[in-house]
Chains A and B, each alone.
Chain A
Amino acid sequence: MHERSLIQSLLRQVEQIVAAEGGGQVAEIRVQVGDLSGVEPLLFQMAFDDMVTAVFSSECQLVLEMVPVTAVCSDCEHQFEIVDFQFRCPACQTGSVQVIQGDKVKLISVTINSNHSIEGVAS
């Protein structure tokens, strides 16, 4: 159940962003969950629903996007999607591959509603 500790970090980051933006109501938090992030999306959503009201309004929505694992071969530089957790380059068969996407939980964007008007920002 480490999803709860990730939600805690997520909410802390969003709080800092909202404060830096001068406050407002958080309408949407968009998050990318990599297939190799170790996070189960349903448990992540449940932990969010459980914990969000302590910080933001219950209107605040969490939008999750699942991200497949992408790797690049260190030898031939071929870029490919990891299927079935096979970490071997399909082009040259080497096992020396670096994961470049899909191993993290990333905060993508925060949508804030505020009553005061801000110059230069489309409402």
Chain B
Amino acid sequence: MNQRTIVVHRDVQADQKADAAAERERLGRRGTLVVNLLSSPGAGKTTLLEATARHFAGRRSMAVLVGDLETDRDAQRLAPLVPVAQLTTGGACHLELPLVQRGLKALGDPAVDFLFIENVGNLVCPASHDLAEHLRVVLISTTEGDDKPGKYPKMFRTSQAMVITKLDLLPHVPFSIEAVTEDAHRIQPQLKVLTNCALDGSRMASWCDFLEQQHQQQLATYHEPASNR
């Protein structure tokens, strides 16, 4: 009997990360900024997307892939506003790239300005899966409590922006914008923090301006000479 040990030292997710990088480049080159929206259930991802679609109507094109364990309720809400495909995970706690690619194909792979992926409501597992996004945004609502970043550090560490939602409820709940920002910045000092109340449509301009700016900045890198990258 021979026993031998093969030394590997390879990321278990290396193949998935390479596939995601290739898809990100393909979509980026043709002018689509991919935005992965993450939060716990009920933080307001669908409501933010409805308000975003109304704000961008006639000016910017967008499509949405929406992930849920079951039902197409979120897709039904968004369908009157934008092209949308529901990704039903059948109980799985997060989305993975093949599901996203299938959804994109179902929509006819539209060359939109923004492709939003509304992830499954969960602050844990989706943090570990690259869906070819250029921008990862975590939402936290004022009703959830301002102690969440420290409890779910990977989610906040891997995000580029945090949107504090349901600002209209702030006078009624024990939630401090300063405390949540400080906790999040301890984990990710570069995190961009935005406040929002999508239900009444206020503060949508700052969110949409941020998206426009990210679209311009992030996609510009694909058109620079390779030596500058």
Binding site for B on A (CB under 8 A): 1-2, 5-6, 9-10, 13, 17, 21, 24, 27-28, 31, 36-39, 85-88, 94-96, 99, 104-118, 121-123
Contact = CB atoms under 8 A, between A and B. Distances in A.
B188 A87 contact: yes
Interface centre among A37, A39, A87, A110 (most CB of B within 10 A): A87
Interface centre among B3, B12, B92 (most CB of A within 10 A): B12
B185 to A, nearest CB: 7
23 contacts: A2-B94, A2-B124, A2-B125, A5-B92, A6-B12, A9-B13, A36-B154, A38-B124, A38-B128, A38-B154, A86-B186, A87-B157, A95-B190, A96-B189, A96-B190, A99-B157, A108-B7, A109-B7, A112-B6, A115-B1, A115-B2, A117-B2, A121-B4
Interface residues of B, number: 34
B47 interface: no
A105 B124 contact: no
Interface string B96-107: 100000000000
Given A87-B186, A95-B189, A107 B154 contact: no
Interface of B: 1-13, 15-16, 92-94, 96, 124-125, 127-129, 150, 153-154, 157, 185-190
Given A10-B12, A36-B157, A105-B13, 15 more contacts: A2-B93, A5-B96, A9-B15, A13-B15, A27-B3, A38-B154, A87-B187, A88-B186, A104-B13, A107-B9, A111-B4, A117-B2, A121-B4, A123-B2, A123-B3
A22 B150 CA distance: 47
B157 A6 contact: no
A2 B127 CA distance: 10
Contacts of A116: 2
Contacts of A105: 11-13
Given A2-B125, A36-B154, A107-B12, A17 B6 contact: yes
Contacts of B153: 36, 85
Contacts of A123: 1-4
Contacts of B15: 9, 13
B189 A2 contact: no
A36 B188 CA distance: 13
Contacts of A122: 4
